[in-house]
Amino acid sequence: MRFLLLLLFCLGLVPPTQAVEPQGLIAPINRSSPSEVYQSFLAAASRIESDYAEYAADKRPERVAGLRRDLQRMRQLMDLEALPPAARVKAGNSAIGYLYDILARLPPLDPASIPGYRTGPLDAGKPLPDKWTIPGTDLQIVRTESGPHAGEYQFSARTLASLPEYYQAVVDREVLNPRVYPFFHREQIAATGPWIPDAFVRGMPEPLKVYYLNTPLWKILLILGVVLLSLGLAGCWAWFAWRASNTEVPVSRLGWRLTIPVAIILLFSASEWFVAAQINPAGSFAIGEYLFATVLYYTAAAWATWLLIYFIVESIIRSPRVPENSYDAHLLRLSARLLGIVAVSAILVDGANEVGIPALGLIAGLGVGGIAVALASQSTIENLFGGLSLFADRPFRIGDHILFEGQSAKVERIGPRSSRLRARDGTLCTVPNADLAKIAIVNFTQRSCCYLEQRIALRGDSQPDRILALLYRLRALLEAEEMVIKEPGWPRVRVEGTAPGRIELRVRASIHTADYAVFLEVQERIVLKALIDLADLGLALAAPLELAREPAAPAAAP
């Protein structure tokens, strides 16, 4: 919700925080003893009752801020930790009205009878009980054992849960303690914001004032109308944005689709502000409505975050420095997918915790479920990490020509699970990333030069002086070739040995090009010139070894 409040603040839908009153103008909330809690509650509730009377006489917006601040302070006297965070405000406010009306119908208490009441410095050392029960009731103030208020006293969670039932049992009794409003809880339910005149409420037909779920029927109907209006506007914008997103440019497509969850957040944030600040629902209906709004906010926030991550990545890829189908573009998209999963999971876990699903329990459940899913999809996860290793090591890029398991192919796509390779015969090969990460890969495109190696086998009866002349011409040929790399001891043209009926020469050189077509042109030029030199010197190539080793035919029979 902090993300949503920040977004709404930036857009001007939530007013800035009101200035805090100077210390000393408001009695502090004290939770050090049952007596302090009880007296703090009565003092703060009396102040709220007085402020509400002034607000009812003159419904100015600035008075609402003071009432909300006082209610927030009073909720500190109640143990609301067992409730979902999204329900604590409404539940706490209702509990204040219930408890104040209940105490008005109980006999006044002697302050000295409440544990923790101090008449002097000597009382500070007296031991305090773990709990204190209001006489004549089951309502208790207990010492909190854990949480942010551990060691302090609050109205117990069990007491808060029993307040509606207890209220119904005593509401018709005589008011024994003077109050401005004998039925303050009913005033809470009927209260409206500054934009809704009291005359409008009083003019409502009586059937619309009947309470359902502790909320007047007219408020329920008005809230449903606001929700339906927001849904209608969100649906219209979604239809328009979806049609506008039918474009071939990924950035524009994602930009339009991103506006859909953003529009949902803005519309329902404005609706929720109007409902909370002007209609002011109460009771069980208010809690349910707020839980629904919280679920909607977090769902839309997760959706918007997912699209925003992809929108940022596609905007980066759109820049001239990152080609559309380059290796870096695919790496960015894969990173966006992983980052999106993590971000959306974090938002949904936070939202689940907000509506009462414990985050630790949810994470533990996701962990157990994750193990089960991992076991069921082991190969998929293996391929995913194989793809990450390919992106990290970069053995090849999109468009490279590679050799894998004796097959030559061009890389067309590197996905999260598999890579697509186009073979020389035009067929498309889909190879799992885990397999590619395990095998040896030869990358022809990334080589710095091409290697030339030719073996020349001369006949065994070749004249040595002519062989020397051939070696001289071949070395001169390589020295004259501009594409041949010249280094100490390189290129090499040597007689490597002899065999029956043959003398073997070996020509080796590095050609300064990564383009295989250019290499073939240079190699062709060198080989043809060598053959011309062979013919010019009267040398001949030896027969293949298979033919030279063929056994002689048997002699004819006499």
Closest CA to 193 of 89, 72, 274: 274
pLDDT tens by residue, 507-524:
999 888 888 888 899 899
Q: Is the per-residue pLDDT at 465 higher than 80?
A: yes
Q: Averaged over 198-218, what is the pLDDT? A: 88
Mean pLDDT of the residues in the chain? 81
Nearest to 147 by CA among 93, 76, 92: 76
Taking each continuous run of H as one helix and of E as one strand, the counts in the chain are 17, 13
User: How many residues are present in the chain?
Assistant: 558
Paired strand residues for 408: 403
Average pLDDT over residues 349-356: 85
Task: Lowest mean pLDDT of 108-112, 363-367, 527-531, name the range.
Answer: 363-367
Report percent pLDDT > 90 for the chain.
Answer: 27
Task: Render pLDDT for 47-102 as a digit per residue (tens, 0 to 9).
Answer: 999 999 999 888 888 888 888 888 999 999 999 988 888 888 989 999 999 999 99
Rg (CA), the chain: 43
Residue type, 285: F
Which one of 3.30.70.100, 3.30.465.10, 3.40.630.40, 3.30.413.10 gives the CATH number of domain 450-543?
3.30.70.100
C-alpha 97/C-alpha 100 separation (Å) is: 5
Q: What pLDDT does 9 receive? A: 36
Higher pLDDT, 259 or 353: 259
The predicted-structure confidence for 232-245, as pLDDT tens digits, reads as follows 999 999 999 999 98
Checking if the pLDDT of 282 tops 50, the result is yes
The pLDDT of residue 15 is 37
Q: Is the pLDDT of residue 119 over 50?
A: yes
- Check residue 18 and give its pLDDT: 35
Is 509 strand, coil or helix?
strand
Q: What is the pLDDT of residue 167?
A: 92
Is residue 176 predicted with pLDDT exceeding 80? yes
DSSP lists the bridge partners of residue 454 as 507
Fold identical between 399-443 and 450-543?
Answer: no
- Better-predicted residue by pLDDT, 437 or 477: 477
CA atoms within a 13 Å half-sphere pointing along the CA-CB vector of 285: 21
Residue 1 has pLDDT above 70, yes or no: no
What mean pLDDT do residues 457-469 have? 87
Confidence band of 34 (pLDDT split at 50, 70, 90): very high
Question: What distance in Å separates the CA atoms of residue 216 and residue 281, rounded to the nearest whole number?
Answer: 8
Domain positions in the chain are 24-191, 217-376, 399-443, 450-543
**Stretch 164-168: mean pLDDT, rounded?**
92
For range 247-267, the mean pLDDT: 90
Q: Which run of H or of E encompasses 142? A: strand 140-143
Least confident piece of the model among 24-33, 402-411, 510-519: 24-33
399-443 topology per CATH: SH3 type barrels. (2.30.30)
Sign of CA dihedral 38, 41, 43, 45: negative
Tell which wins on pLDDT, 241 or 394. 241
Chain centroid, CA 426 distance in Å:
40
pLDDT tens digits, one per residue of 477-508: 888 888 888 888 888 888 888 888 888 889 99
Q: What pLDDT sits at residue 305? A: 94
- How large is the average pLDDT for residues 333-343? 83
pLDDT of residue 328: 67
pLDDT-derived band at 373, boundaries 50, 70, 90 = low
% of residues, the chain, pLDDT over 70: 82
Residue 368 reports pLDDT greater than 70: no
User: What is the mean predicted confidence (pLDDT) over 531-558?
Assistant: 66
pLDDT given at position 5: 42
Q: Is residue 326 scored above 70 in pLDDT?
A: no
